[in-house]
Amino acid sequence: MTSIDARRDVFRRLHESGCFVAPNPWDRGSAVILERLGFRALASSSAGFAFSRGLTDSALALDRAAVLDHLRDLVAATTVPVNADYQAGYGDDPRAVAESVRLCVETGIGGLSIEDATGDVAAPLFPLDVAVARLRAAREAIDASPGSGRHVVLTARAECHLVGHPDPLPESIARLRAYAAAGADVLFAPGLRDAESMRAVIEAVAPKPVNVLVGASLGLRVSDVAALGARRISVGSAFARVAWSAFLASAKEVLASGDFGSFDGLPSTHEMSRWFE
C-alpha cells in the first residue's frame, strides 16, 4: 500500500466512529507544524490560502490551477490525510464539476468538499436539482478514479447559513439529505452557531457522518461537539486569522508607538527552525 493509499484508508476510517479535529493550514509550514503537533488529518482553507496570496476570500480570487498546486503542496509536505476545501468544484455544470474533481483526486488528497453556493448575490444557492446533479457528478468522478482514488471521501456542503438564506436550518437539512442520497460520504452545514442547531443537523442526517465548523468562540469545546455526535471538526480560516491577528497587532504597535514589546516571548529563529528539521 502506498503512502497515498494508506492516508486515504486512514481518513475514511476516521469517519467511522468517534470525533476528530481536522485543522486548516494555509501553507506548507503551517501544515507541517499542525501534523507535528499531533493532528491526525488536515483540511485546506480556501480563505486562509487566499489571504496568504494577498487575495480576498472569493471563489473568483483563486483559479483551479492555483488551488490544485496548493493541494499538491500540502500533500507533499505531510504524511497525514488532507481534505480539500474545493469550493463549488470550479464549474457550474455537472460535467465541469466532474473534471475538476478528477483533477483534485490526482493531487493525492484524502477527501474533498463541494459546496452549493453560486457566488451570485441575486441567486446565492444552486437550485436543489442542479446542486444534486453536481454532487452526483462529483461522486461518479471519484468512483471512476483509478486505485485508491475511489476511496476519496466526498463531503457535501449546504451553504444556507453563510449566504443569508431566510430559513437556513430546515433548508440545510433538506439539502443535506438530498446530497446524502446522491452519494455524499460526509455532510456539512457551515455556519451553525449553537449546540441545538448542530444536534438538529447531526440527528436529521444520521447515520451519515457530519463535519462541524468551529471558526469562532462558541462556548463549545471539542468534547461538547463530539458529544453531539459530530464525526469531524474543522476550524476553517480561524488559525490563519489567529496568525494574521497577531501580525496585524504587532505591526500596528510598531507603526503607532515605535514599541517592539509584541516581540517579547517569541520563539527564536532557531526554535522555529527545529519544527521543520
* DSSP conformation letters of 35-80: HHHT-S-EE--HHHHHHHTT--S-TTTS-HHHHHHHHHHHHHH-SS
Euclidean distance between CA atoms 117 and 207, whole angstroms:
25
The fraction of the chain above a pLDDT of 90, given in percent, is: 97
Q: Is 83 helix (H, G, I), strand (E, B) or coil?
A: strand
Element (H, E) at 11: helix 3-14
Residue of 173, 254, 161, 165 whose CA lies nearest to 210: 173
Give residue 2's pLDDT band: very low, low, confident or very high (50, 70, 90): confident
DSSP single-letter state for residue 119: S
pTM: 0.96
Count of alpha carbons within 13 Å of 173, Cβ hemisphere only? 13
Give residue 59's pLDDT band: very low, low, confident or very high (50, 70, 90): confident
Euclidean distance between CA atoms 259 and 48, whole angstroms:
28
Q: Inform me whether the pLDDT recorded for 60 exceeds 90.
A: no
Q: Inform me whether the pLDDT recorded for 72 exceeds 80.
A: yes
Mean pLDDT of 78-83: 98
Euclidean distance between CA atoms 99 and 251, whole angstroms:
43
Q: Inform me whether the pLDDT recorded for 249 exceeds 70.
A: yes
pLDDT reported for residue 1: 62
Q: What integer best gives the mean pLDDT of the chain? A: 97
Mean pLDDT of 149-155: 98
Count of alpha carbons within 13 Å of 139, Cβ hemisphere only? 16
What are the cell numbers at 72? Answer: 499538491
